[in-house]
Amino acid sequence: MCLGIPGQVVAITDEAAQLASVDVCGVKRQVNYACVLTEGENAESLLGAWVLVHVGFAMSRIDEEEAQNTLALLSQLDELNEEMDAIRASVEDSAS
């Protein structure tokens, strides 16, 4: 499954290479912003913007509300995965 994870642009780190530091759930990572910078737009205009990050690229801009909703949903999915793992473990234990 391919997911875009919301992150917030916190710094432009290499304008020539079109790289920015993006905060993704408290972890900062280098991301290429070429896909979200429009022609004639200054890279600094991305500071504070929310973007969907996928395989090291900012794929699209999103608003903060959408970012927060997506992060909440991803958190719930993680909790569901943990519950499913616990159920599978208990079924395997009872089968032994």
Q: Encoding tokens for residue 54?
A: 């996928």
Q: Which domain covers residue 60, as residue numbers?
A: 5-95
No. of helices (H) and no. of strands (E), the chain = 1, 5
CATH number of domain containing 32:
2.30.30.140
Over its length of 96 residues, how does the chain's per-residue pLDDT go in tens digits?
567 899 999 999 999 999 999 999 899 999 999 999 999 999 999 999 999 999 999 999 999 999 999 999 888 888 777 888 877 887 777 776
Total domain count, the chain = 1
- State the alpha helices, DSSP H only, in 1-96: 64-95
